[in-house]
Chain A
Amino acid sequence: MMTAACRQAIQDLVESVGLRAESFATGEEFLSRKRAGDPSCLVLDVRLPQMSGLDFQHRLAETGVQIPIIFITARGDIPLSLKSLKVRAV
């Protein structure tokens, strides 16, 4: 799981190259919060505090939101990556 510090650092890095970025602590927060516009890319940690990253991906697929997702993880392993790819992660 990503700490707030990490989240903020990533957001800042993306912004430093001139892209717009927003950060969310959890999947729920992403789904419930009013967003400025439809994002063109999602950077997602596999391990989220409540709903897991993979569950969140399912929810997005169900609601018809089709955004490319970059999965990041602190403890990546092969089975997990395969699982993500099968659900169309980029």
Chain B
Amino acid sequence: MRGVIVGTGKRLTEVVHRIATLLTSGSRKSRELQESKARLEEAQRVAHVGYWVWNLDTDRVTWSDETYRIFGLAPQESPIDLATVREMIHPEDRESVFRTAEEAIRGGAHPDSEHRLVRPNGEVRIVHSLGDLKRDASGRPYQMFGTVQDITDRERAEEALQRTQSYLSEGQRLAHMGSWAFNAAGHYWSDELYKLYGLDPKNGAPTVEQYLALVHPQDRASMAETIKLMQEEHRGFDQIERIVRPDGRLRYIRSVAVPVVEQGVFKGFVGTTMDVTDQELLTQELRREQAYLAEAQSLTHAGSFACNFVTGKIFHLSDEAFRIYGLDPSSRDIPFERFYKATHPEDEPALREKFYGAIQARMDYDLEYRIYRPDGTIRFLRSVGHHNPAGEIGEYVGITMDITERKRAEEERERLRQLEADLAHINRVNMMGELAAALAHEIKQPIAASITSANACLRWLARDPPDLERARAAATRIEQDGNRAADVINRLRSFYKKETPPERETVDVKDVIREMTVLLRTEAIRYSIAVHAELDADVPNILADRVQLQQVFMNLMLNAIEAMKDTGGELRIRTQLNPESQLMISISDTGVGLPADNTERIFDAFHTTKPQGTGMGLAITRSIVESHGGRVWATANQESGATFHFTLAVEAEVHA
């Protein structure tokens, strides 16, 4: 490029020279002269070339119009002083310019220099100046003629080009990027490209075969195909392949090739090649981490989000967040409103209040609410949002979790708890049913006895003479049996009361034990079981719910009877005060004993060893005892059977 400009400049300079010589020689007709002069002016103006004539005798200089313009002056007719010209040469170049001229006058070469000049407005221009010496017949130099060309733009363009090239090569080095061209002239590789491949520039660009040998074996076939398409179909490409450099290092390379077509004719390819190993490894790691994160989110049913709730702009929404709302993660552009509108109408007002309250206050939030999925199912969600105080209002990052399973489990637990309470009631009702038969018998006995006695009494009275003594005895028995039946009914009455809140009253445990012994006597006798109560006379009164206490005894005694049902045996009830001033009651049997494994489990709800058991008896027992500040446990007896113990807190002496 430089050559072209300089070349044109030289030719022009010669033309100017010739014409100027003609002009100054004054040997042509004036019309021709005028035309030539006009053409010269035009040529000078176009090429930014001016001429000058330096009269060596007077040291006056004549400039052409263009020369004035180059020097930033208005053209004028009269010559100017050499000193003035000298002043306008850039101070740093002044000396060398005039030295060259003086050398030429002394017989040296034609002055030819590039130098700077300073225009009156301070602007610096670069000019190319050529001179030619004129001598008279004696050979004495009397005039120097020369041209001056403003080459500032050219110089600047060259500087810019050099700068661009240097930036480009520096840029390639920094970016690990090389460039290449492939055309009729050959195969060009930039220096950086050689470095990327670990090749020596001295060996020139590799052939296709040599190049493919560098490509990683797994990527070689696809690269060969790409090159084939490039050569045969002139198809460009943009792909990442792995190469193994001569030093053995594996690098990821991204190559971009663009076909060059000029006026419909294919000329070759230009392209760039970049070492993207770091980015690629980072990308791979990022993808791995994203996969782990997605997996973790999917496992925990937690989706992450980042959005501005005020503007409704969503910055990030993980796949799991979509799935939680029953949406397809691939359907990306879902408006924020769609998510908010999924909220269950019953939860919406409370959610709106708390949620927008937190946003206005720029606070974190942690909320639970229900949503409807598009398929109509309801899910429980918990959303935790963190507001970055540095961010805009409404900007939150957080997670949304599907807690439906947990909620269902909680509901299930609550349901079971309710069921347990129901069962406790049913169990008691069942027990009452079982007892009713036994109690009916218990009541029927004295009634049957009194009817029989009444019969006998009537017969004694019907005798002649009436046997009054035997009749009185019979009547006495009727009274006793009647009272006995009434007693049984009185004892029962407390059981028929409907579930009432626990009522603490002063209770004599001995009374309760006696009552229960009476109630269960028939049952015990039925299975040949002897019941013994060893009651300490000093047993203090306790504050308890009488009905519940009866139930505890009933459960434990029925269990003991159940354990001895097939064998018969002995049921023993003992009371004693333990060192902690607690009343300890032990109910032991000589039955089948405890299960060999965990004896504590027998107190768990629904744990049963009986075919018809509900597994609630001991669970209820424990809950009652614990509500009275005591505890219940079981021990195996030395010989046979088991003993159930429970403690009750003793109240301070209660005065009536």
Complex interface residues of chain B between 511 and 526 (CB less than 8 A to chain A): 522, 525-526
Other A-B contacts than A1-B522, A13-B453, 10 sampled, CB-CB below 8 A, are A1-B526, A5-B449, A5-B484, A6-B449, A6-B452, A9-B453, A12-B456, A16-B459, A50-B528, A74-B445
The tally of CB-CB contacts under 8 A between chains A and B is 62
Does B480 interact with chain A (Cβ within 8 Å)?
A: yes
Complex: how many Å from CA A9 to CA B447?
A: 11
Contact A5 B474, beta carbon cutoff 8 Å: no
Contact A3 B446, beta carbon cutoff 8 Å: yes
| Chain A residues with a Cβ under 8 A of chain B | 1-3, 5-6, 8-10, 12-13, 15-17, 47, 49-50, 74-75
Closest to B474 in A: A12
Which residues from B are CB-within-8-Å of A3?
A: 445-446, 449
Complex: how many Å from CA A7 to CA B446?
A: 11
| Chain B residues with a Cβ under 8 A of chain A | 441, 444-446, 448-450, 452-453, 455-456, 459-460, 463, 467, 470, 473-474, 477, 480-481, 484, 522, 525-526, 528
B interface SS class = helix
Which residues from B are CB-within-8-Å of A16?
A: 455-456, 459-460, 463, 467, 470, 474
Contact A5 B459, beta carbon cutoff 8 Å: no
Query: Would you list 29 pairs from A and B whose C-beta atoms are within 8 A, ordered by A residue?
Result: A1-B522, A1-B526, A2-B445, A3-B445, A5-B446, A5-B477, A6-B445, A6-B448, A8-B449, A8-B477, A9-B448, A9-B449, A9-B450, A9-B474, A9-B477, A9-B481, A10-B452, A12-B452, A12-B453, A12-B456, A12-B470, A12-B473, A15-B456, A15-B470, A47-B526, A50-B528, A74-B441, A74-B445, A75-B441
Contact B470 A5, beta carbon cutoff 8 Å: no
Picked from B460, B480, B525, the residue with its CB within 8 Å of the CB of A5 is B480
Which residues from B are CB-within-8-Å of A12?
A: 452-453, 456, 470, 473-474, 477
Closest to B445 in A: A3
Picked from A9, A15, A49, the residue with its CB within 8 Å of the CB of B525 is A49
Which residues from A are CB-within-8-Å of B484?
A: 5
Complex: how many Å from CA A3 to CA B522?
A: 10
Interface centre among B459, B460, B484, B522 (most CB of A within 10 A): B459
> How far is the CB of A13 from the nearest CB of chain B, in Å?
4
Complex: how many Å from CA A3 to CA B444?
A: 11
Which residues from A are CB-within-8-Å of B463?
A: 16
> How far is the CB of B568 from the nearest CB of chain A, in Å?
9
Chain A to chain B: the 6 pairs with minimum beta-carbon distance, closest first: A16-B459, A9-B452, A13-B456, A5-B449, A12-B456, A9-B453
Contact B445 A9, beta carbon cutoff 8 Å: no
Complex: how many Å from CA A8 to CA B467?
A: 17
